[in-house]
């Protein structure tokens, strides 16, 4: 079977039997992975005959995709902010929308001696990217030891493991003794579970059946963990430097409720909701510098 024939076969399999959204693209990604080459190579070598072993592996991957297993888990990696990260079913697959959080965090860090805190680090994409892009230290926290193992691997892969400290635990509790008084400021970044339970229940099968629920389901309104985070910050505000910024990702439907949530704990504070490229509310920027609740 040639590359062209294999792609045509896979496209039909995924499109007709599984209703996969982009069957040809998925087929190309999987075959390029098998051949350890690029999609461009496939386009210029349509007549190349596949080895029997290559075809068998390709068929196996197509079968996995037919069952709606995410491409990122099949490949074992996902690109984020120009870097390739290890991912597996213990961590959420990075989304391009989260790159906006990185952009805002980088702008916030300009010109100051700041420490980043990545709450709910998962695969470590935010922590690693911030460390690589800014050269600043990062404290990365997650409740899952398996997720932290993936994050540590990614830090090592991108050679920033000397700038990141990993902590197992909930929200900001594990870093109780890590705040250094001479620091001019702390920027907390969070991409915590924010889907309402009903949204998670109605999610596509490649999300609901494969990605960890604890990284997606944020409770009845999707904001349970954000509420807990700001409650902890309010209680421990004096543990942090005077400059304290929190940047977190939300579902577009939560712009008003997220703002109201923050004001429950820090009433007189600066809050901005930033839209993504699709013009949808995506990132909440909270500056609680000099605020004490």
Query: What is the block-wise mean pLDDT of the chain (293 residues), using blocks of 10 residues?
Result: 95 83 93 94 94 96 94 96 97 96 93 89 98 95 97 98 96 76 83 96 93 96 97 92 94 96 93 95 92 47
Give pairs for 44-51: CB < 8 Å, separation 24+. 45/3, 46/2, 46/3, 46/4, 47/2, 47/3, 47/4, 48/2, 48/3, 49/1, 49/2, 50/1, 50/2, 50/3, 50/6
User: Are 37 and 160 contained in the same domain?
Assistant: no
User: 162 φ, ψ to 5°?
Assistant: -80, -10
Spatial distance between the Cα atoms of 15 and 198, rounded to a whole number of angstroms: 28
Return the pLDDT at 177. 64
The helix (run of H) or strand (run of E) holding residue 56 is helix 52-66
User: Are 166 and 258 contained in the same domain?
Assistant: yes
288 and 245 Cβ atoms separated by less than 8 Å = yes
User: Are 97 and 174 contained in the same domain?
Assistant: yes
Domain assignment present for residue 77? The answer is no
Give pairs for 159-162: CB < 8 Å, separation 24+. 160/128, 160/131, 160/132
Spatial distance between the Cα atoms of 38 and 4, rounded to a whole number of angstroms: 15
DSSP 51: P
Domain assignment present for residue 293? The answer is no
Query: What's this model's pTM, rounded to 2 decimal places?
Result: 0.91
User: Are 37 and 96 contained in the same domain?
Assistant: no
Query: What domain range is 139 assigned to?
Result: 89-287
Domain assignment present for residue 20? The answer is yes
């Amino acid at each position: 079977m040639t590359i062209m024939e294999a792609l045509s076969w896979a496209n039909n399999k995924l499109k007709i039997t599984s209703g996969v959204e982009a069957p040809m693209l998925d087929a190309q990604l999987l075959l390029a992975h098998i051949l350890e080459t690029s999609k461009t190579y496939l386009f210029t070598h349509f007549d190349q005959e596949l080895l029997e072993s290559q075809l068998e592996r390709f068929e196996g991957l197509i079968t996995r995709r037919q069952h709606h297993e995410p491409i990122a888990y099949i490949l074992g990696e996902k690109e984020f902010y120009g870097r390739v990260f290890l991912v597996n079913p213990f961590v959420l697959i990075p989304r391009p929308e989260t790159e906006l959080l990185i952009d805002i965090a980088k702008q916030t860090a300009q010109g100051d001696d700041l420490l980043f805190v990545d709450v709910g680090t998962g695969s470590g994409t935010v922590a690693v990217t911030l460390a690589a892009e800014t050269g600043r230290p990062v404290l990365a926290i997650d409740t899952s030891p398996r997720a932290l193992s993936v994050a540590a691997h990614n830090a090592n892969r991108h050679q920033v493991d000397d700038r990141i400290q990993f902590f197992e635990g909930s929200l900001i509790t594990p870093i109780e003794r890590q705040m250094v008084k001479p620091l001019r400021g702390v920027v907390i970044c969070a991409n915590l579970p924010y889907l309402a339970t009903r949204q998670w229940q109605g999610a596509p099968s490649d999300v609901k059946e494969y990605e960890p629920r604890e990284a997606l389901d944020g409770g009845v309104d999707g904001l349970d963990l954000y509420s807990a985070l700001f409650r902890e910050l309010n209680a421990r505000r004096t543990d942090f430097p005077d400059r304290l910024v929190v940047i977190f990702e939300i579902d577009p439907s939560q712009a008003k409720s997220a703002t109201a949530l923050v004001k429950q704990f820090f009433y007189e504070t600066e809050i901005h909701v930033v839209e993504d490229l699709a013009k949808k509310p995506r990132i909440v920027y909270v500056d609680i510098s000099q605020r004490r609740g």
